[in-house]
Structure 1
Amino acid sequence: MTSRPFSRTTPPTSAGAQLRHLRQQAGLSQLDCALITGLSQRHLSCIETGRAKPSPGTLHNLLTALDVPLERCNDIFLASGYAPRYETTPLTSSTMEVVRAAIDHILHANNPAPAIVLDAQWDILAANASAGVLFDLVGLAREAAEGLNLLVTLLQPGGLGDHLSNAEEIRLVAWQRASREALSNPALAEILKSLPAPHSAALANELPPLLLTRVDSSQGELRFMSTFTTFGMPLDITMSSLRIEHLIPADTRTWEVMTTAYKKTQHSH
């Protein structure tokens, strides 16, 4: 095993320095950023050096243009002397009813293809019936589809990762993505520290244009494409962290197996 591939460096503390750091991370020059946000390059320079204090509207404009996670946005608003702007509303709250309804609709519409809802820590918050079907087909408890951590079940022995034909490839891609996210997510970083790191040489030199998830099941190998749905223009930290992963069957046989198994579960109810 190798040492953990991510490290948390101490970020700049002043709002201007943080904005400069974020702009540079985004690969934008001051001129590029000024053009995108409608600010003058001189004003942006003054903000970054601390010679000018941005208004809340200007700060929001800059952070949106730089696609900064909302939780980090709150830190920068605080560093600028303003109250945090974005809330973390529980998904169970009455104000999130429309969000829950949208999620239920998407999950149901995805059948007979599996779909799961993930939060920022990769916890599975909800899953459709076909995700339970897939768990059945690999010999895992159907009820386990909800309440699991996807990263844990992929990387730890005895989980879903053990039922993938191309486990090392999927594990490496999942690890790399989670490591990037962990740079701004301490809770996820702690989860990663407890998990075995995959071998970095898992990917072949010549890769296809799309990495498929290949599942060993009681019906033979099933092949899926992975896509994600996120909420557009979220203004709440909970909503910005949610994503729905869709496992779309990648061939006719996988569609047939999933459709038949899903219909059987519907008849049994």
Structure 2
Amino acid sequence: MTAILAVSNRKGGSGKTTTAVNLAAEWGARGRRVLLVDLDTQGHAGLGFGVVARRDEPTAHHVFSRPGFALDDAIRPTASPNVAVAPADPLFDGTDVADRSVAALRRQLGAPAIRARFDLVILDTPPSLDLILVNALVAADSVLIPMIPHALSAEGVRQLTRLFFRVATTVNGGLTLAGLLPVMLNPRTTHHRDTLQEVGTEFGVERLLSGIRSDIQLAEAFASRQPIRDHAPRSRGAADYRVLADELAGLWTGAPKRQPHEIRQS
């Protein structure tokens, strides 16, 4: 079965796209066939791999706007091993939705063509509470919530978890929470430590992942349209996303497990 992970936060600028791109690249490098579906109309997840849809080209958003559309038609290869991208439609504004079913994306990801091609699907979701975000949660097996450790981002986590539990108790009983991921983290900053302690108390310290430290090379990687493991493989950011991939393997049943021949980079 193809595992499906939604990377989401109700607050923009929370590191969800950086996380989606770099997890996809890390798992692809470990030999897993990964599809990254860019559901945020900013299109930054596709941009992270140098994939941008031109006008009138098939995109992930055509699942909702074109009757009879097959997501498989929007999938593009990337330069990263084993990673493909279904790019976003930057012109999609939600006014021309043809399929308003909350299960439209789940049906597409369950198609034999997708199941046969990919071991893992990563959904980069929009920050807005709309039909696209609900579709992502209905389609997913699990949700990873990146968050900047300050008060506003913590409120975005609270808003998303309310929606998470609503979906999990109604239309997707198998949905799990993979974890809360601190990003742009500086462990020496008092406010960061205090915020993480508060989030751990509220949601459970066992749900808090180690986190991604602040690293300007993560932003530079996007400018070069490459994941961090290709742009700066010895950077803090690359090391932290390797650790994240290992952590998720122990917390989420759908995450790829490390194989004995996989040697961790220093």
Q: So what's the TM-score if we normalise by structure 2?
A: 0.26
Larger radius of gyration: 1
Instruction: Tell me: higher relative CO, structure 1 or 2? Use CA pairs within 8 A at least 6 residues apart.
Output: 2
Q: So what's the TM-score if we normalise by structure 1?
A: 0.26
